[in-house]
Structure 1
Amino acid sequence: MKFTPCADLCTKDGTHCQGCGRSHQEIADTKKLIASIVEFIKVQGYDNSDEFINMVSKKVRKKLVKTS
Structure 2
Amino acid sequence: MQFSPCKGGDFCTQDGTHCQGCGRSHEEIAETRMLMQRVAKYAVDMDYENIEEFTPFVGEKAGKIARKLQDDQAGGGIGIGMPIK
Common topology (TM > 0.5): yes
Which stretches in structure 1 are left out of the alignment for 5+ residues?
none
State the match for 2:3 in structure 1.
3
Give the distance between the partners of 2:5 and 2:67, measured in 1 at CA: 21
Question: Whose radius of gyration is greater, 1 or 2?
Answer: 2
| Cα shift readout 1:5-33 (whole Å, capped 9, x = no counterpart) | 11221111100001111000000000000
Aligned equivalent of 2:45: 43
Query: Quick one: percent identity of the two aligned structures?
Result: 46
Q: What displacement does 1:65 show?
A: 2.8
Which ranges of structure 2 fall in alignment gaps of 5 or more residues?
A: 72-85
- Give the superposed CA RMSD: 1.0
TM-score between both structures, scaled by the size of structure 1: 0.90
TM-score relative to the length of structure 2: 0.74
| Structure 1 consecutive aligned stretches of length 4 or more whose deviation exceeds 3 Å | none
Query: Aligned pair count?
Result: 68
